[in-house]
């Protein structure tokens, strides 16, 4: 079955006074129908930029410089080239087929409009033939869907708790029954207990409605628990991609191993753990070879000189020279 | 041996009781974790213990001596009890270089605030070469480096107690452990008493022998960290433990 979303060789630059910063440097990613794909990495690794590029929400100074995003709905006869959409076609596509839950619900909602007005706005824009009564009913249904009482419709955002606001954001993202929902750190600002409620709600809705989720966070512990597959990003690239159980048991890329060791989990034994030494590279200068080389404990001569693509290794995809040599040895 | 104790602390905010009869003790060479959800009163307790706020009732004692009112007494108290704040992007003065931010607390507390003392502080938090870091402005540092400066500043008056209010929650995953390891090392080497305030049960368990759980301003459970987290006696603790992300779930 064709993936609902295919990202191919995506590149995004930020124009700055001192030249372009290459925030996303050639990302390939498939999202299958109904699956939850996690994207994890440190601040500045390009995960949010990638999300904005996929949803076509990039604004200057960010520019898509190369690559494509292709969307294939169940009933579509031909795939939609998301990156080629413009004007009215883009407006029609956005939110209807693919929506987004933004990082800070407090900032994403309009503080001077009631929740019902903000939800109805979607129907004004995308379902112009809906009657007033239908819109109202739909708002009620949506709030009910995300477990909020009907009175929330009449509330202003400041009258709601952080968790309730995040539920409103999710209701908004699901309003037009999209096939893909991109969620950018949807629970980071929330309390542990509220985070758990929201995660449960997302998982329940996903099973009921069948949409796919691209879930972005820096919390690998959380992703391992909820994702079907995980893409680990470093310096604008996916360095490891695979099944979350495989990634947890058998990480291949030294950066993934580093991330896994960088936090204790609730049940893990008490032992010496360390963060990953060093800093991510400056993305305004071209990177020769592997971007992680100067922080890596397994660095080899070729790491600093030769680029390494994402290659299938041990049931997943890994971009690391440790395995390219092994492959060559095997093929000999 | 230093003991900082809270005795039956209460803090009311216009009809709302944020802290409701809390008592506990932090002891030299030990870390006490204070965990709870947002709004449980964790930060209010930190503010009361650091002298940024006054309790409605109850007392705070250091080595049995109650904290006295008045500016001089407060300054004397802060020589012993220092705080590391959550947000290193907000807690450092953006227009002053690092050496200024470290020399000030030294001088305020009657110590020699010359460059040598500043470099020594930077060295203690592993910002090396210290000479280079001393002349940087906060915006030239990463989040982890800023938090190290904030920790160095807290160490300046040679305190006996360190209050760390969510010291790593604003930091990148890859550096969180290093900051917590640094606090652990400082505690061990200087025999500090540490109160580690967090919503993260996993790091509470890894860095503190004792964990105290707060709900709606009350201590609902206190005891050995493993015991509290794996065999919670209180229903709220159980919910908190069940909500924590667990890759092996």
Partner residue facing A270 (CB), from B206, B239, B247 = B206
Across the strands, what pairs with B16? Answer: B13
Contact B176 A262 (CB under 8 A): yes
Place of tokens 């890759």: B247
DSSP B30-81: -EEEEE--TTSSHHHHHHHHHTSS--SEEEEEETTEEPPPSHHHHHHHHHHE
C-alpha span between A96 and A85 (Å, rounded): 14
The reply to whether B142 touches chain A by the CB within 8 Å rule is: yes
The reply to whether B209 touches chain A by the CB within 8 Å rule is: no
Q: pLDDT per residue over A166-197, tens digit each?
A: 889 999 999 999 999 999 988 887 788 888 98
Contact B247 A270 (CB under 8 A): no
Tokens of B170: 């604003």
CB B192 within 8 A of CB B162: yes
The reply to whether B64 touches chain A by the CB within 8 Å rule is: no
Helix (H, G, I), strand (E, B) or coil at B10: strand
Q: At residue A328, does pLDDT exceed 60? A: no
Q: pLDDT per residue over B92-150, tens digit each?
A: 999 999 999 999 999 999 999 899 999 999 999 999 899 999 999 999 998 899 999 99
ipTM of this complex prediction, to 2 decimal places: 0.77
Contact A224 B247 (CB under 8 A): yes
Predicted pLDDT at A106: 67
C-alpha span between A312 and A316 (Å, rounded): 6
DSSP B188-241: HHHT-EEEEEES-HHHHHHH-SEEEEEETTEEEEEEEHHHHHHS-SSHHHHHHH
Q: Tell me the residues of chain B between 182 and 201 that have a Cβ less than 8 Å away from chain A.
A: 199-201
Q: Which residues of A touch B (CB under 8 A)?
A: 42-43, 162, 191-196, 218-222, 224-225, 248, 258-259, 262-268, 270, 272-276, 279
Q: pLDDT per residue over A231-256, tens digit each?
A: 999 999 999 999 999 999 899 999 99
Helix (H, G, I), strand (E, B) or coil at A237: strand
Predicted pLDDT at A327: 58
Contact A263 B173 (CB under 8 A): yes
Contact A274 B181 (CB under 8 A): yes
Q: At residue A332, does pLDDT exceed 50? A: no
CB A276 within 8 A of CB A234: no
DSSP B114: S
Q: Cβ neighbours of residue A124 under 8 Å, at least 6 residues apart?
A: A135
Predicted pLDDT at A275: 83
CA distances from A117 to A86, A111, A121, B104 (A): 27, 11, 6, 52
Provide the angle, in degrees to the nearest 10, between the axes of the packed helices A132-145 and A115-126.
120
Predicted pLDDT at A329: 54
Please give the residue of chain A at the shortest CA–CA distance from B175.
Answer: A275
pLDDT along chain B (249 residues), means of 10: 93 91 95 90 92 93 88 91 91 94 94 93 93 92 92 95 92 88 94 94 92 94 94 91 82
Q: At residue A19, does pLDDT exceed 70? A: yes
Partner residue facing B172 (CB), from A43, A258, A264 = A43
The reply to whether B235 touches chain A by the CB within 8 Å rule is: no
Q: What is the mean pLDDT of residues A104-118?
A: 87
Predicted pLDDT at A6: 94
Predicted pLDDT at A326: 62
Mean pLDDT highest for which of A71-75, A162-166, A210-214, A262-266? A210-214
Q: What is the mean pLDDT of residues A85-94?
A: 90
- The pTM score is 0.86
Please give the residue of chain B at the shortest CA–CA distance from A200.
Answer: B243
Across the strands, what pairs with B82? Answer: B162
The reply to whether B116 touches chain A by the CB within 8 Å rule is: no
Place of tokens 């030239």: B140
Predicted pLDDT at A262: 85
Please give the residue of chain B at the shortest CA–CA distance from A258.
Answer: B174
Q: pLDDT per residue over A288-297, tens digit each?
A: 889 998 899 8
Percent of chain A with pLDDT over 90: 52
Predicted pLDDT at A138: 93
C-alpha span between A257 and A319 (Å, rounded): 13
What is the dihedral angle through the alpha carbons of A195, A199, A201, A204, rounded to the nearest 10 degrees? -160
Residue A225 distance to chain B (closest CA, Å): 4
C-alpha span between A242 and A248 (Å, rounded): 10
Instruction: Decide: residue B1, CB within 10 A, 0-12 exposed, 13-18 middle, 19+ buried.
Output: exposed
DSSP B115: H
Percent of chain A with pLDDT over 70: 97
């Amino acid at each position: 079955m064709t993936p609902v979303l295919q990202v191919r060789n995506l590149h995004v630059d930020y124009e700055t006074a001192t030249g372009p910063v290459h925030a996303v440097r050639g990302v390939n990613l498939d999202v299958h129908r109904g699956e939850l794909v996690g994207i994890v990495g440190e601040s500045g690794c390009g995960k949010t930029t990638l999300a904005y590029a996929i949803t076509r929400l990039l604004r200057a100074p960010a520019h898509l410089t190369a690559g494509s995003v292709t969307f294939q709905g169940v009933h579509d006869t031909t795939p939609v080239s998301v990156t080629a959409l413009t004007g009215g076609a883009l407006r029609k596509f956005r939110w209807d087929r693919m929506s987004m839950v933004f990082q800070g619900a407090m900032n994403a909602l309009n503080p001077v409009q009631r929740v019902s007005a903000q939800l109805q706005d979607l129907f004004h824009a995308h379902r112009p033939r809906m009657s007033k009564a239908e819109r109202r009913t739909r708002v009620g249904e949506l709030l009910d869907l995300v477990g909020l009482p009907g009175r929330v419709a009449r509330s202003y955002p400041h009258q709601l708790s952080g968790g309730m606001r995040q539920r409103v954001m999710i209701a908004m993202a699901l309003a037009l029954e999209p096939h893909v929902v991109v969620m950018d750190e949807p629970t980071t600002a929330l309390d542990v207990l509220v985070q758990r409620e929201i995660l449960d709600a997302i998982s329940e809705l996903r099973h009921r409605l069948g949409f796919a989720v691209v879930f972005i966070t820096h919390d690998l512990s959380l992703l391992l628990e909820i994702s079907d597959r995980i893409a680990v990003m470093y310096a604008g690239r996916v360095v490891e991609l695979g099944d979350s159980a495989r990634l947890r048991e058998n990480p291949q890329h030294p950066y993934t191993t580093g991330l896994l060791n960088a936090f204790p989990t609730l049940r893990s034994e008490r032992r010496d753990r360390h963060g990953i030494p060093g800093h991510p590279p400056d993305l305004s200068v071209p990177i020769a070879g592997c971007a992680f080389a100067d922080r890596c404990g397994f660095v080899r001569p070729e790491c600093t000189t030769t680029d390494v693509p994402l290659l299938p290794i041990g049931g997943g995809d890994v971009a690391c020279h440790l395995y390219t040599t092994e492959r060559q040895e095997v093929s000999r | 041996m230093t003991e900082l104790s809270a005795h039956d602390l209460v803090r009311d905010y216009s009809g709302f009781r944020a802290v409701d009869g809390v008592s506990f003790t932090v002891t030299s060479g030990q870390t006490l974790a204070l965990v709870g959800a947002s709004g449980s009163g964790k930060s209010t307790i930190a503010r009361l213990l650091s002298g940024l706020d006054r309790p409605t009732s109850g007392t705070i004692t250091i080595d049995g001596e109650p904290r006295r009112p008045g500016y001089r007494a407060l300054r004397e108290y802060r020589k012993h009890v220092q705080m590391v704040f959550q947000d290193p992007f907000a807690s450092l003065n953006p227009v002053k270089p690092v050496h200024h931010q470290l020399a000030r607390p030294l001088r305020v507390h009657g110590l020699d605030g010359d460059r040598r003392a500043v470099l020594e502080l930077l060295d203690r938090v592993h910002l090396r070469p210290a000479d280079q870091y001393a002349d940087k402005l906060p915006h030239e540092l990463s989040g982890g480096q800023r938090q190290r400066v904030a920790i160095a500043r807290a160490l300046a008056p040679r305190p006996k107690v360190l209050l760390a209010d969510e010291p790593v929650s604003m930091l990148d995953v890859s550096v969180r452990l290093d900051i917590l390891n640094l606090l652990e090392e400082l505690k061990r080497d200087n025999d500090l008493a540490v109160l580690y305030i967090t919503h993260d049960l996993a790091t509470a368990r890894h860095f503190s022998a004792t964990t105290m759980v707060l709900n709606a301003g009350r201590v609902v459970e206190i005891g050995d960290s493993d015991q509290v987290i794996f065999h919670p006696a209180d229903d709220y603790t159980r919910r908190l433990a069940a909500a924590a992300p667990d890759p092996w779930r």
